[in-house]
Every structure is written in C-alpha cells, then in structure tokens.
Amino acid sequence: MRIAINYRLTGTGWSECVISCDEKSCVTTASYLSDALGNLVRAAVAVLSGFSALIFSFEEEPGEYRWVIRSARLNEIDVAVLEFPDLYGGRPDHEGKELLRIRCIPEDFAQAVYEAAARVLGEEGETGYAEKWSEHEFPTHQLVELGRLLEKLGHAV
C-alpha cells in the first residue's frame, strides 16, 4: 500500500493537497488562515513519535478539511479526511463528509509528507513560500525533525 501526497501553492495564500493510496484519493485546498503545510508536517512528526490520536485542519474561506489520524493498532494508523461547510463550526467528526479513509503504517505516511514538503521547499524556497503563504513561514525546523526521525528508522531522506 503506497501513500502519496502532493502539496503545492496555487497562488498567494492558497494551496492544494492531493492524497492518494491505492485506488483512493482526494483533493483538499487551504487558505492562509491556517498553517496547513506546517500542520501536516507536525502531524507526521507526531505519527512517528508514538501518539494515539490527532486532529488538524486545512481552513478554507468558508469551510474546513479536517484530518483525523488515529493509531489503529501497533504500527498502523487510520487517516480520515473530512469536509465541513463552515469554518470554525466546531462540528463533531461524524457530521463531516468523509472524502478519504485509508490505513497505512506510520513511516509510509511520514515519508509521503516529508517528500511533499521537501518538494515545496525545492520549488518555492523559504523566502518564496513566505511571500506566497504570507501568514506562516515554511516549517523548516519541523521538516528537519521529520527527516531526522525517518533517517533514524532507516529511511532515505
């Protein structure tokens, strides 16, 4: 089961993220209202650090794409992407429209996030990213930490 994530800035203050695994995929977008890429990288660090569950959002204008990641069993995570029509609605997860649900090993998710963020850094650079994303800097320190954790597990970064 190969998971792939493609994250790109689509304009000033806007991004698109495509996540796919086997035959399943979904496209989410985010505005500068949230630190979408930073949240994604921090989630990957958490996945490799032994968490039990985490939730973060890509904020829209209006709307929300909520990522719900839970440790299903030892060395396995469930990743769900839910869509909500309102931003800051505080709705429970079960009220969201499920766009994607996959199960994978933590290292595969973390590697896919690392590769996606590294591509953005290579294409935009820290300065270009900050100019386009405006409210949040590129998550350099978190990406370095993610790379360190992946290398510790024997993955090439």
Q: Is residue 152 part of a domain?
A: no
β-strands 97-104, 76-84 pairing: antiparallel
In this structure, what CATH number is given to the domain that contains residue 117? 3.30.2450
Q: Is residue 155 part of a domain?
A: no
Question: What's the confidence (pLDDT) of residue 18?
Answer: 98
Question: What's the confidence (pLDDT) of residue 134?
Answer: 85
Share of the chain above pLDDT 70, in %: 98
Question: What's the confidence (pLDDT) of residue 1?
Answer: 66
Give CA–CA dist 93/57, Å, rounded: 12
Q: Is residue 72 part of a domain?
A: yes
- Segment 44-73 mean pLDDT: 92
Q: Is residue 154 part of a domain?
A: no
Q: Is residue 156 part of a domain?
A: no
pLDDT at 155 over 90: no
Question: What's the confidence (pLDDT) of residue 59?
Answer: 92
Q: How many degrees, rounded to 5, is the angle at CA 21 between CA 27 and CA 106?
A: 105
Question: What's the confidence (pLDDT) of residue 19?
Answer: 97
* CB-based contacts of 49-53 (< 8 A; 24+ apart in sequence): 49/149
Q: Is residue 157 part of a domain?
A: no
Taking the complete model, does pTM exceed 0.85, yes or no?
A: yes
Q: Which amino acid is at 72?
A: A
Number of domains in the chain: 1
Q: Which amino acid is at 149?
A: L
Q: Is residue 136 part of a domain?
A: yes
Q: Is residue 81 part of a domain?
A: yes
Domain limits for position 68: 3-147
